[in-house]
Every structure is written in structure tokens, then in C-alpha cells.
Structure 1
Amino acid sequence: MPSGGTARIAVDELEVSGTRATGEIDIVEDGFLGRLNVDGGGIAGTIGFRPQGGDQRIDIALDATRARLGVAGSVRRARLEAAIVLAQGGTTLDATATAQGFRRGKLSIARLAGSARLVDGVGEVRAAIAGSRGRAFSIQSVTQVSADAYRVTAEGTLDRRPLKLETPAVLRREGAGWRLDPTRFSFAGGTATVAGALTDDTTELTLDVARMPLAVLDIGYPGLGLGGTASGRIAYATRGGTPDGRVDLTVRGLSRSGLVLSSTPIDVGVAAVLDANRAGVRAVMASGGRTIGRAQARLAPLGQGDLPTRLAGAPLFAQLRYGGPADTLWRLTGIELFDLSGPVSVGADVTGRLADPRIRGVVRSSGGRLESAITGTVLTGVEAQGRFDGSRLVIDRFAAQDGRQGRVSGTGAFEFAAVRGFGIDLSLNAERARLINTDSIGATVTGPIRVRSDGAGGTISGEVRMDGSRYRLGRATATAPLPRLTIREINLPDGEEEVGASVVPWKLDLKARAPGGLIVTGLGLSSEWSADLAITGEPTNPIINGRADLVRGNYEFAGREFQLDRGALRFNGESPADPALDIVANADTQGLNATIRVAGTATRPEIGFQSVPALPEDELLSRLLFGTSITNLSAPEALQLAAAVAALQNGEGGLNPINAVRRAAGLDRLRILPADPQTGQGTSVAAGKYLTQRFYAEIVTDGQGYSATRIEFQVTRWLSLLASISTIGRQSTNVRISRDY
């Protein structure tokens, strides 16, 4: 450095977690003068240094945009402005911070705004936070900071229910540690008082609760979803490494909700003790004024190490006796594909260790119910018997009915120590059981089915024969979105959207064969088919590959039914299912050979007509729908014909009130006839229906005393017999011969 020059610190690059700082800082008489430019990792801004009245001032202005903060998490947008003055008498901090979209694990903060004003460690910090961790929360707090204490006041909402510190939380320095004075807070009608201490050799915690909703546990365990309230006391302390604790709790209305139902609420009383050598717990369960279960467990001796290690390695002896609703226990597994309800009896003894339990005992259920909101499955009269074997529950016998003539039986096992939770391995055999019953698909099947899961998702596989099943065309786009609703929660602060925890879906791996009896409806079809299908994908949105072939059936168009000659549905793995159509119907009528062909796909059908002799489309439709030339149609019939032509051209029915009434009444023809002065007939309504393919009956009335009944029997395509009788005494019988030349 030249004599009399200024010393300078040149920062070519200073990198921390992907964020770089560069710049120059001069060493001047009263401190430092200069600036560092910060960039990278989604963070940009400046850090300035300058003397201020003999003190050193540091100005920080940083902006974050989609920044990764290392192990701290990530933030979508944030800004920090701070002024720090380093003086001999102490340090002054004046800062403000805002952030949106901060995430760390399951914690999501939609909005954060805070400010701090501290002089030599004394001052005030204000914060407003809104976000979610299992439950949505919004908290506003003020913290008074002193040299040896923090005094916090706060209030807000949790799950849109009020949460408030009824007394300030005061954290005081005590020697080398800290002590929390008794602090009372309220939540949704419940209250709790917490106090504790943390020093070098002592840890203390006491918690007294009264009618505290269990929903508060979702903050620590997102998705737990427990209902009910807790009252009682929890006390825990360690002194010199020796643990001591006691729990006395009563839980009212304990339940857990699923897709189909919420478990039957029960009351639970829990008492537990902990000392240097042992841990013990007892619980009593009650419902409807009677005891339905008891449980007890003992861990002794505890051994050495920290508390979790001592508990996990201690010899275990536990017992469970339960006779109550099965859904209370089933909902604790977290399996959403199906729900189990009804009575169940459990007797189990547990030995070994917490890390490696050995369970012995039996499970019985009679008159249970199994149902799935996803597949529409409902099995009643469930009879099951099982036994515990190590960490497994082996089901030796399972039987249930589908509410009709169908039956499901089988065996299997549940694994409590599966890789990712609650494992399942069931081998079932269905006998004409209705296992799928949704708006668009119904499947009554016979054959073996395997259900397997390692605790996260699972697979349903098997080769089955479909008996009396059904499929509705044209409903794929309407039904597929229902199980997978795209939910966007609005009115969150700053519009931040909550991203739910990823769920591993269940998968299908089924081979389904239908020699017949597959009823296909929709798009005017009323038909029976055979099929050979491979079904994969998810239960909420199955992927189908294969083919279905027509056995017999009819096709209805504009009120007329036509017999199907041939047909094929080709499933090519679309999601949602949208089979390709190749269907031909016989539309022969008087003096006319005609066919109707339906092509395209189920969601975009294409309908075409052909005839011998060839006729214009409107004339051909008039012959098919009304049995006469277009020149003989009444005005209402012409309107109905125009609507049918429009439906063919653009796939929409247009304005067709007559056809709407006809469909609602279940008629094949509905027309308005003009008045006939010769017979005294006023303007009349004629309603007719094909009783068979060849026999047609029609009633005519003007609402003023005139009525007539007309019948027509088609002997051949060109020969018909007609008869009529009216209230004015006219009767007639005719023969109609129709030929096209």
C-alpha cells in the first residue's frame, strides 16, 4: 500500500450455498466504507458499509426470487431490509422482512411479515405468519426482548378456529439455561397450560389440558386427522440423566375420518408412568356407556442411553383386549382404498421389544361391512377370523356377501412392520360378486384376486370372469375426474397455494374375460357383449386394453329402435377409457334396405346412414322415423326431423321440445295433428310406441271429446296391416303396400 494511501479489501468472490458476493471495501479512519454486490441462488441485492458518527453502519437490502436456502428450505419471493449500527455502547438493529411461499418439509408459509427494533439486545419484534402444516394457521405475535427474558403475546387462528395466548409466554434465563413460566393458551374452546425448563442437567415439561381438540396435533403430525378432545396432565423431567414422568389423560370422542366414513367415536382413558428403570401405560376404551377395550404395556428394565434408545431396546410385555367397532381401529391404518366397519374382537399379547415386537393372539369379526368409495364396492356380512404371528396378523378365514347372490372368500395377512407402513397380502376368491359399482362401470366377477401393499399404495391383480357386468358409453369424461379433484384453496394470504403431500396410488393388474352378459348402454345402445380385457392404471382412472364383441342388442335413434347386426368396441389404453366404435344396425323398413353405422369413439361418435335405393339423408330419416315420405310430414314431425338431422351434423340436439317430452314419457313417436272438419276432430296430439319390432300402437286425442286408437302390423318390408277405431264410431281396416321405383 503506498504511503498515505487507503487500505482496500477486494472481494473477488465469496460464495455461500450458491450465492456469491463481490465488491470492494475501503478501510477508512472510522471503520469500513464500501459495498458488496450479492447475486446467485435466487438472491440478489447489496450489503453496504459506511461510518456513522464514529460508529460502523451496515445496510442490507436483499431480494429473493425462487431461492433455495440450503437446509432451511425454499422461498418463492422475499425481501430483507436491515440497518445495523455497531457502537461501543452496544448494537442497534432496525430491520423489516417479508416473504411469500416459504417451504420447509411439510411446513408451508404463504405469507410472513416481520420487523425488529433492538438496541443493545433490548427492544421489540413483531411478526405475522400465515401458512399451513397439516392445518392452516395464521398467527400475529409481539415479542418484547430484554437482556435475560423474552415476553411473547400472540393470537390467530388454526384450521380457521381461534387460537390465543391467554397469558404472555415468558422465557427467562436461568443460569446457563432457560425457563418457561406457566403459559395458558386456548384453541377452539379448549385450554392448555404449559411450563418447562432446559438447563445443562435438567429438562422439565408440564402440560395441563382441558377439552383441547386433537386437531392441534396436525401441526406436529400433518394428516393425522384425529377428532375428539383431551383433558388431563402430562409431566416429564430428567435430572442428571434420570427420566421421570407421568401421564393422566381422558380423550372424549376419539375418531378419525376417511373417504367413506368417520370411525365411531370412543372415549379413552390413559395413565402412564416413567422412571429410571421402567415405563408403563394402561388404557381403557369405552363407547355407549360400556367398556369395549383395555390395554396395558410395560417396558423394563430400560437400560442405558438417551430415552428413545432406552425405550426401544427394553424388554416389552403388553396386552390388548378389545370388543367394539372395527372402524375405530381400521382408520388408524391410514388405508383409504376401502373402509372396514362393524363389530370386531381382539385379544393380543405382545413380547419382544418395541423395535422388534412379537404378537400372539386372535381376531374375530362377525357381521362386518367393507366398502370403497373409489370402486363402489360394498360387502356385507363380513365373517373373519385371524391370529397374530410375530408382527403379522394372519387371516385364516374371510367371507362376505355383496348384498345379492355374490360371495367373496379368502385368506391373507397384515404386516405391522412393513417397509413403508401397514402391509397387506390378501388372496381372495370371488363368486359372482359385484366388486365394482360406479356410474359408468359395474362388474360382477368370478375368479381369484390378489391385494398386496407394502404400506404405500398397492396392487390389485387377478384373472376373473365377468358375470352380468355393465358399461356405459360416453361417460368417461364425466366420471373420471371425480376421484381426482384438482383442489385449489383460495383466499390464502398472497394467493399462495398449498401443495399436499404426495400419495402413492394403488395400481390395477387385472385380466377380465366376459363370454357374454356384458351390458353396454349409452349413445342409444341397449346391448349385450362378450369381452377380453386387460385393466391397469389406478382404480380412480383405469386404463383398459382389449376388445368387446356384440352378442345382441338394439340401437335407439330419435325415438326408433333398430336391431344391431354386428359391433366391436376396441379399448386402446386411453385415459379415461374412450373405446373406438364399429357398430352396424339394421334399419330396413317398408320398401327400403337401410343400415345405420356408428363409428368414431365413445366421446365423439360418428353416425352414418346408407340405403338401397339411395335416398337423400332427410328423406331417408323421414322414412325410418315416421314410415312415410318427407312430403307427408306434419309441421311438428318436420321439426322433430330437423332436430334429428342437426344432431347428426353437429352432435347436438338443438331446439327440440317435442323430442324432449317424447323421451321423458318413454314414447317412440309424439306428433301434433291438424284439425279435420270432416270428422269433427280438433288439433290433436298423437302418441305412439313400438310394442315389438313390427307392431306399432298409437293413441290420438284433441282433449275435446275426440280420441282414436290406431295400430299397425308390418307383415313384410313392403306390406302392412292398419286398423283404427275412434269415439265418433268410425272403424277401419286397411292394407298398405309401399314400393320405391
Structure 2
Amino acid sequence: GSLTASAGLAELGGFLGRSMAGRVRLEAKLSSDGQSQDVNARLEASGVAAGGIRVSRAALDASVRDALRAPRGEAGLAVTGASAGDASVESLSFKARGSGREAAFDLAAKGAFQGPFRASAEGAFAPARGGGRLTLASLKADVRGVDISLARPATAVFEPGGLSLYGFVLSVGGGSVTASGAMKPSRVDFSADVATLPLAVLGKFGLPPLTGTASAGLGVTGAPSRPRVSATLGLEGVKAAALEGRDVPAMELKGTARLEGGRLEADCSVSAGPDAAFRASAAIPARLSLSPFDFAVPRDAALEGVLSGSVDLARAAALSGDEALSLRGVLKADFTASGRLSSPALSGGAALDGGEAAYVSTGTRLRDISLDVMASGGEVSIKRLSARDMGGGSLSVTGKADLAPEHGILFWAQVVADRLTPVRMDLATATVSAKVDASGGARGARVAGSVHVGPVEVNLPDRIPAEATPIQVTRINAPGGSAPEAPAPSAPYPVELDVAVDFPGRIFIRGLGLDSVWAGNLHAKGLARKPVIDGAV
């Protein structure tokens, strides 16, 4: 016999109390030759919209022969024009054929999710009591212009309480990812490696554009309730993509971690040539269980840690890629951490003497830069951060931070500027004196003080320089237009202001027929994200 049915989803949505749209249609036919029972069915859907999911058209076909004794047959799913949130599927095709002993399948999809993608795969699945064997014969994909392919067939075996993986080798954008091993109730033995993965590939997925390669490894062995874990990470030839071809040293990173016998140890080194190298190591008690999964670090765990190294600031300026920035001096650091996680004890410090800094774009020049940072117990203090400009002005910063975890990080800092000239160029020269205090913690901060501006001289050019960069203007409220949808705001860090700014008649703006003197005083109060400003100009 046969069965045909159709329904509108709007009516079903009304019954369920949900907004739904579209139609579905079902056709089914049962037939028998006296010895075997055959089933053919087709389910179609069109114009479907429900719960943020939209499907222009979908069809599911199934054909089963000898359904009651030795079922075998084929099934296929075809979808066009589907979307959910930021993801869209232009086309999707899935086909399966076989019997109860083994079924072969193939998949093809094309769409977009934060960038275009295309993928295809072929394989087979053989069911068994409590699991089965999945063989992936081929896999090819193009995700945001990155080629991904399976180097050779891979197999996964599912068993009661266990999983085994064989021969998984994936080529990703010129690098490779391999994995193999088994996890069973009594033992786990698994390894995975990433080799020479170009960092440019990661840039296509939202990371900063970098050159260089990444390698990594992971090994897990032993009883699932207390496994031994080792991991490695290496980055070589790392540069910002904008610095490629320039005489800038590449960065390298080497890291290792090991968890065994209830102890987690980690070591990491970063360098950019012989004049910039830092090393950090740490060790704490830790427990890991894979079955059931649990990872815990005791709150009163003993802590061991070291951070040491030095960097030539000229090398750091080169690594920034900003040709307008110039730095001189050597920053040295040596810190040690001990005690317990609940009450860490720090010692050591960082120092810089005779440093210099210049920024050509603003005419900023600082000399005699000194830094003295000390750590003792749970407190880190900036004993001195000072600098002088070329006109005799000065800048100094002092402060401290309490790192005791029981009440969160608390900090205090004071910035004092005395006739400092941070801007000195033909277009403008500005001098500032200030005394500002900042204090707070994890829940918010308060900034209070006074700023005295002047003298300031602004010389407007008679014409716009040829090298000036045009500014693109987007009119969001133009007639006939629409404002772009604003992203959902995140809760900002609350900063309370109480800052007075005065400029008593010492701001001069000249040029383009203008010769003016500006004076006034302002007082900013309230939260920084929505300040209340009183005063007059």
C-alpha cells in the first residue's frame, strides 16, 4: 500500500506555541513479493523557518529491501538554502548505501561560516555490538582558502567503554596533523602531533597575520584514572606579516609540559635573537582523571616558578614594526615565585637604566628613562619609573599591586608630570603638568587628580599636505539609509573619574586666517563610559 501526507508548519507551531513556517510532505510505499518486505519513502520540506533556522528546500529519500529479514538499501539527504545564525549552507548532499553489516556513505557540502567552505568525504561504517568500525576513505575541504585533506584512509573503532584510532594523517595548509592510539577502560595510549603548520593559516581564522611555522605534540599514557601527559609546543621564524622582508629578527618559542605522579611541570622560552630572550618555568601539584574526567589543583598547592631574561629595547622597537618608534636601553628581569597558590610569595625584580624613547610622528623624545620594579611576598611595586624630555620636563610613575588571591588583585599608582612636552612638532607643541592617582581591583577602579595644560601652540597649515591620509567617513543616519546594527555591548570595566583639567589662556591656535587664544577649566566625574563634564571653555 501507499501513504501520502502533507502539513503546514504554521499550524503545528501554533499548537506548540512557537513561530514556525513552511510545509512538509511525506510519501511512503510498502510492497512485497511474498518473500521480502520492501519500503520506499520520501520526505520533502520547503520554506521552513523555525527557531532561527531556515531551509529553502530539503528532501530525504530512503529505499529498503527485505526490511524484516536482511535489510539492505540506500538513503539520501539533499538540502539547499539553509541558514542558522552566521552559518549558511548553499548545498548539502549525504548518501548512504549498504546492509546491516556495513554501510558506505559520501558527503558533500558548500556554504559559509565566517568565510566560505567546501567539503567532501567518503567512508563506511560497520556496526558491532556496543560500537562499530568507522573508516574514512577520503576527506577534502577548502575552508577560507585553506586546503585540508586526508593523506590516507583512517579508521576509528568504537567499543564498549573504549575508542581506538588508526592512521589519521591530515594535511592542513602545508602542515600536517597526525593522531593515533587507544583509550580503553584499563589503559590509555594516545599521541597527536602537529608539524610545520604555517602560521599564515591561523591568520585566516582571526589570529594576527604572522609568518613562521608551529609544531606541537601531545602524549597520554597509563591508567585513565591517573594518566601521564606530556606536551610540546614550538614556534619558529615568527614575524608580523607586515615585517616580512625587513631586517627584523624572527621570534622563536619552545614550550614543554608534563603531568605525572600528581605534579605538573611546565617550561617555556621565548627569544628574538641573542639580545632578547626570556625563560619561564613553573611546577604545582595537580590531579587528572580521564574516566571520569576531572582536573584539579589543590588551593593550598605548593608553588614553584621562575621568570628571567633580558631584552634590548631597540630589538623590541624593531619587532613592533612601527618605523616611527625608536627605543634604547636594556630591560632585565628576574622573578621567583614560591609559597602556595592561596598565598604566593614573590621575590626579585626588573630594572632599566639610561633608557631612551622617541616617536617621530609626534616629536616625542624621552631620555634618562629608569625603571625599578621589586617583588616581595604578595606585592609587586614600581619603586621608580621616571623619564625626562629634551626641554627639562619630567615624568614619574610609582605604584604597587597586591596579588593575594583571597581578595583579588588590588592596585594603586600615581603619575606625575612636570612641564612635560609629549608633543613637539611643526604642527603642534604641547606641555602638560599633572598629578593623577589610580586605584582599584578586579571589580573597578578610581582615577582622580588634576591636569594643567599649557602652553600649547597649534599651527594650522595653509594647505593639506600631500602625504595626509584620507579619512573614510560612513554616514550612518543619511536620508534613505540605515544605521548598521550595533554589536551587543559587553559589560565594561567600571572606572570612576574625578579629574580636573585647566588651561588658563595658554592654548594658541593659528593659521588659515585664525589667531585665537583658548582658556577654560573642565571637571570630569562619574563613570568613564558615561562621564559627566562640568566647566567652561
Separation (CA, whole Å) in 1 of partners of 2:472 and 2:444:
15
After the TM superposition, which residues 108-507 of structure 1 pair with which residues of structure 2 at under 5 Å, given as runs? 108-109=86-87, 113-119=91-97, 121-132=103-114, 138-147=117-126, 148-151=133-136, 152-158=138-144, 160=145, 162-165=146-149, 167-168=151-152, 170-176=154-160, 177-200=162-185, 203-214=188-199, 228-231=212-215, 233-237=217-221, 239-254=223-238, 265-289=250-274, 292-300=277-285, 302=287, 306=293, 308-310=295-297, 314-324=301-311, 343-352=330-339, 357-367=344-354, 381-389=368-376, 393-413=380-400, 425-435=412-422, 443-451=430-438, 461-470=448-457, 504=492
**Residue 515 of structure 1 pairs with residue 504 of structure 2:** yes
CA offset digits 1:548-580 (Å, max 9, x no partner)? 3xxxxxxxxxxxxxxxxxxxxxxxxxxxxxxxx
Counterpart secondary structure, 1:242: coil
Which residue pairs with 2:129 in the alignment?
A: none
Residue 148 of structure 2 aligns with an amino acid whose one-letter code is K
Residue 259 of structure 2 aligns with an amino acid whose one-letter code is L
After the TM superposition, which residues 533-552 of structure 1 pair with which residues of structure 2 at under 5 Å, given as runs? 533-534=522-523, 546-548=535-537
2:22 corresponds, among 42, 45, 55, to 45
Separation (CA, whole Å) in 2 of partners of 1:438 and 1:97:
63
Separation (CA, whole Å) in 1 of partners of 2:83 and 2:355:
46
Separation (CA, whole Å) in 1 of partners of 2:448 and 2:360:
19
Question: Are 2:107 and 2:121, in contact at CA under 8 Å, matched by a contact in 1?
Answer: yes
Question: Are 1:49 and 1:56, in contact at CA under 8 Å, matched by a contact in 2?
Answer: no
Pairwise CA distance, 1:409: 0.5
Pairwise CA distance, 1:466: 0.9
Pairwise CA distance, 1:110: 5.6
CA separation of 1:444/1:200 partners in 2, compared to 1, >3 Å: closer, same or farther? farther
Question: Are 1:149 and 1:172, in contact at CA under 8 Å, matched by a contact in 2?
Answer: yes
Question: Are 2:410 and 2:442, in contact at CA under 8 Å, matched by a contact in 1?
Answer: yes
CA offset digits 1:111-149 (Å, max 9, x no partner)? 5532111236532111234333xxx56342324343331
Counterpart secondary structure, 1:468: strand
Pairwise CA distance, 1:430: 0.8
Instruction: Quote the sequence identity (%).
Output: 21
Pairwise CA distance, 1:544: 7.0
Residue 375 of structure 2 aligns with an amino acid whose one-letter code is F
Counterpart secondary structure, 2:258: strand
CA separation of 1:249/1:303 partners in 2, compared to 1, >3 Å: closer, same or farther? closer
Pairwise CA distance, 1:348: 1.5
- More strand by proportion, 1 or 2? 2
CA separation of 1:228/1:433 partners in 2, compared to 1, >3 Å: closer, same or farther? farther
Separation (CA, whole Å) in 2 of partners of 1:375 and 1:423:
34
Pairwise CA distance, 1:363: 1.9
Relative contact order: is structure 1 or structure 2 higher (C-alpha 8 Å, sep ≥ 6)? Answer: 2
Separation (CA, whole Å) in 1 of partners of 2:351 and 2:333:
7
- More helix by proportion, 1 or 2? 1
Residue 529 of structure 1 aligns with an amino acid whose one-letter code is W
Question: What runs of 5+ residues in structure 2 fail to find an aligned partner?
Answer: 32-38, 127-132, 243-247, 318-324, 462-468, 477-483
Pairwise CA distance, 1:167: 0.8
Question: Are 1:126 and 1:143, in contact at CA under 8 Å, matched by a contact in 2?
Answer: no
Which residue pairs with 1:35 in the alignment?
A: 7
TM (norm. structure 1) is 0.52
CA separation of 1:35/1:102 partners in 2, compared to 1, >3 Å: closer, same or farther? closer
Residue 120 of structure 2 aligns with an amino acid whose one-letter code is S
CA offset digits 1:628-676 (Å, max 9, x no partner)? xxxxxxxxxxxxxxxxxxxxxxxxxxxxxxxxxxxxxxxxxxxxxxxxx
Pairwise CA distance, 1:270: 2.3
Counterpart secondary structure, 2:296: helix
Pairwise CA distance, 1:346: 1.8
Residue 172 of structure 1 aligns with an amino acid whose one-letter code is A
After the TM superposition, which residues 79-98 of structure 1 pair with which residues of structure 2 at under 5 Å, given as runs? 79=56, 81-85=58-62, 87=64, 88=67, 89=71, 92-98=74-80
Which residue pairs with 1:733 in the alignment?
A: none
Separation (CA, whole Å) in 2 of partners of 1:359 and 1:295:
14
Residue 116 of structure 1 aligns with an amino acid whose one-letter code is F
Pairwise CA distance, 1:347: 1.4
Separation (CA, whole Å) in 2 of partners of 1:483 and 1:417:
47
Separation (CA, whole Å) in 1 of partners of 2:473 and 2:340:
43
- Larger Rg, first or second structure (1 or 2): 1
Separation (CA, whole Å) in 2 of partners of 1:327 and 1:153:
48
Which residue pairs with 1:666 in the alignment?
A: none
Separation (CA, whole Å) in 1 of partners of 2:48 and 2:265:
51
Pairwise CA distance, 1:64: 5.4
Question: Are 2:6 and 2:23, in contact at CA under 8 Å, matched by a contact in 1?
Answer: no
Which residue pairs with 1:587 in the alignment?
A: none
Separation (CA, whole Å) in 1 of partners of 2:530 and 2:426:
13
* Number of positions where the alignment pairs a residue of Structure 1 with one of Structure 2: 479
Separation (CA, whole Å) in 1 of partners of 2:207 and 2:76:
39
TM (norm. structure 2) is 0.69
